[in-house]
Structure 1
């Protein structure tokens, strides 16, 4: 599935817009990750446990969005965006969304 943040796909014509597609996931922190992060904050640096958690969440949201577009018969997703929000203490939601389209051959 071709996914772009632009409104068009370079070199291709959009022949049909199939509508909004989205994928979401909610992830919670692990107590062990919090402990390691608290220690890391004493000396500074990247909180790799949190980075890994968010990277996995982004990939899962993208995969779910692409699956929804494939179910509609889309060739691509244009104007893709991501959004995150805290929905509870220690839990975040990531949503990926865009417009599913058919492209010319």
Structure 2
């Protein structure tokens, strides 16, 4: 499955648009991570625990989007985008979306 954040795939022709596909996940922080990241926040620097949490969430959302595209028989997803929104004080949703297409 090819993914592109543009409206095409270099060297390939889009022959059919199958529709919008998406994948999402909602992740919450945990108490242990909050304590260690809170201490790091006092000292400054990257909050690596949260970076890892969000990276894993993006990967999961992207994987779900790809599964939806594969179920439609797509060869690629173009115009791929990610968005994040706060769900609760300690939770965030990651949404990956794009357009499933067939290529020649």
Question: What range is the shorter-chain TM-score in?
Answer: over 0.9
Q: How many angstroms does 1:80 deviate by?
A: 0.4
Aligned match of 1:11: 11
Q: How many angstroms does 1:8 deviate by?
A: 0.8
Q: How many angstroms does 1:36 deviate by?
A: 0.4
TM-score by length of structure 2 reads 0.99
Aligned match of 1:48: 48
Find the residue that maps to 2:100 and give its secondary structure: strand
Q: Which runs of 4+ in 1 moved over 6 A?
A: none
1:1-105 paired onto structure 2 within 5 Å: 1-104=1-104
**What stretches of structure 1 of length at least 5 have no aligned partner?**
none
RMSD, matched Cα: 0.5
TM-score by length of structure 1 reads 0.98
- How many residues in Structure 1 have an aligned counterpart in Structure 2? 104
